[in-house]
Structures are given as structure tokens and as C-alpha cells.
Chains A and B, each alone.
Chain A
């Protein structure tokens, strides 16, 4: 809700009309990508390039869908609606439950909660933001990078990710004077090669995961990827591979989107 409010306020103070954050929060319903979209367009980048960057951020929903047992999102027409409320929170809470009815209930409760809080917060924030005229006097321009930073800090505790993120920041900063707005951020994606070329660390993580006794005997080898990039306080493989109901719920950091 608080993140939704900052999103709405930032979008409006960046020069977007109120309907942009309102419509986007309902139709996209994935916070980080919406921030990215607003940020790139506000800096003068092409909306299409911004959409592509947003889609890259949202590509994590594909492994989420692979990790969810069939039936969690519902059946028939309900599944079409249930698919839309798939997000970091609903997936991690669903996976933490033991049986299918429990998973389904957790998924829908969390998904619908976000569906109400996120757009509600965005509209409220946009209304408040519309009332402020001199945004730089109040330091509101510092809020946007601060929000994004707060959202990714849990991931940055992983040393490899931190290194790649710093490289990405350097690439984007060096490119900014020379490239059209929006492109430096996309160019910074090259930093992902730092991770792709570091198989040792990745293999270690894999080994730790398997050693933790995740035999994948349930016949879903694809359930391995951690479904919660934003919801873990520390990158501990042990905590990830065994989503005990209480453990996962309690391990949500303060930075996570607060429940209603």
C-alpha cells in the first residue's frame, strides 16, 4: 500500500496524468515493472523501449507459473482471472501451504489483497502528488530511486548479484551522456554476463540446494527456482528450498509490500 502510494505520487509528479498509474496498476499489476516504465518514459525514453524493459522484469512470472501446482489458480474462467493475480507475494504464500486447498486459498487471498491495495495506493498517492507543485523543494525527486533501491536491497545481499548490479549502475552512468534516454538502462543489462560467466558460484548454490534434501521426488523438477526474488531477507539456499509455512511467512522483510 505504501509502495503503491509512492508509485502514484511519483508518476503524477513526473508529469503523467492520474489515469496512467491508475490504469497501469490494475492492468499490469506488477510494481517493479511499472516503476521502470514510468522512470524510463519520464526521463524521455520511448514508451515502447520502456515496455520492453518492464517485460524483462516481469519475465520472472513464467517460472512462477511453472512452479505452481495445477489447480492453484483455479479452473475454467476463474483460472483466467487467477492468472492475473499471480505476483511475488501470492506465489510465495501459495507454495508455503501443504495441500492444494490451502495453496489455493493462500494464493487467492494474497492475490486479491494486492489487487485491491496496489491500485488503491496508487490512486491515493496520485491524488496527494497532484496537490504538490514544487516537487524538487520537497526532495520528491529522490523518492523514486529510493523506492527502487529499497525494493532491490534484499537481492543485493547476494554478493554476486551486488557485483553485477554495481557494474550495471556504472555502465548506465557512463552511457548516459552519450545515448538517448532509456537506452543506458537497457545497455546495463550486459552486466548479467558477469553472472552467466561465473558458473562456480551458481554451481555451489545448486549443490547447497540439493544437499539440503530437496530430492524433487514429487516429479516437479521445475519447482526448484525460488519463487520469491523480493521476499527473502538473505540468500540462504536452505531457507529457499524448503518453504515451510511459518518460516516463509516470517521471513518476509520489512521492504515487502505490506498486507492490508
Chain B
């Protein structure tokens, strides 16, 4: 793994910042009103970041294309998730489809 001091620093930042968010909403409650629109944008920002992460981790490896096996598995999982399949089924399907594709020689 990379420099573990830096990883610990990152983990500490994330943990401390998250706690600060949790606390500050309660503290601010009496004093300010948070526009609902801003709250919705925050929610959407989280989904957008995660969607970008899905795309990059599914399709790329380093700076290039990951091959077809992995995106095929993720696509199958996405279809199942959209049809409200149970979480475990979705995740295991992703791994299984990718594994079978590789077994058949798909990169």
C-alpha cells in the first residue's frame, strides 16, 4: 500500500469532518434555516460523485480501458439493481458474470 501516514491522515480527516457535519447541523438548528434546495443539491452532489466512481472503476484501469469482462459484470448488476433484486444477488452477479467472461477468454 502507499504511504500509510498519509492514509491515516486522510482517514482522520474524513472521520473528524464527518463528525463535525453531524454535530453542526444540530447546533445550527436554532439559528439558521437551511434552504431545501441547497439540501437537495448536496444529495445530488453525493450521487454524482458516486456515479463517476462507478464509471471509472467499472471501465478503466490505471489510465486505460479495463477490458470488457468487468463492465459486463457491472452492467448485469445495474440491470438487476434497477429491477430491485436483493443486494447480495446484485453483487454476486457482478462477480460471477465477470469471472465467467474471463473464463471464456474475454479480457
Contact = CB atoms under 8 A, between A and B. Distances in A.
Interface of A: 2-3, 6, 15-17, 20, 23-24, 27-30, 32-37, 39-41, 43-44, 46-48, 50-68, 70, 73, 79, 83-84, 86, 136-153, 155-156, 160-161, 164-166, 168-173, 176-178, 181, 184-186, 188-189, 191-192, 195-196, 202, 205-206, 209, 221-222, 224-226, 229, 233, 253-255, 258
A150 B6 CA distance: 30
B50 A152 contact: yes
Interface of B: 1-2, 6-7, 9-11, 13-15, 17-19, 21-30, 32-34, 36-60, 62-64, 69-70, 73-74, 77-78, 81-82, 84-88, 90-91, 93-102
A166 B54 CA distance: 11
Given A3-B87, A169-B54, A221-B33, A150 B77 contact: yes
16 contacts: A47-B11, A51-B17, A60-B43, A61-B21, A64-B25, A65-B25, A138-B95, A141-B70, A152-B47, A156-B51, A164-B47, A169-B55, A191-B52, A221-B33, A225-B39, A255-B90
A65 B55 contact: no
A82 B55 CA distance: 35
A66 B81 contact: no
Given A36-B50, A43-B57, A188-B49, 15 more contacts: A28-B14, A61-B18, A66-B29, A86-B22, A137-B102, A139-B102, A145-B74, A148-B50, A149-B78, A152-B51, A152-B54, A153-B81, A186-B49, A189-B45, A225-B39
Given A61-B22, A165-B47, A146 B94 contact: yes
Contact of B98 (A142, A171, A209): A142
Given A63-B25, A65-B25, A254-B87, A56 B46 contact: yes
A77 to B, nearest CB: 13
B52 A171 contact: yes
A116 to B, nearest CB: 18
Contact of B48 (A24, A168, A233): A168
Contacts, number: 322
Main secondary structure of the interface of A (DSSP, over half): helix
A202 B49 CA distance: 20
Contacts of A160: 44
B77 A149 contact: yes
**Looking at B9, B21, B77, which has the most chain A CB atoms within 10 Å of its CB?**
B21
B35 to A, nearest CB: 9
A46 to B, nearest CB: 7
A188 B57 contact: no
B52 to A, nearest CB: 3
A51 B13 contact: yes
A41 B2 CA distance: 9
Nearest to A55: B17
A44 B91 CA distance: 24
A137 B99 contact: yes
Contact of B11 (A20, A142, A146, A177): A20
Contact of A50 (B10, B77, B81): B10
A32 B85 CA distance: 20
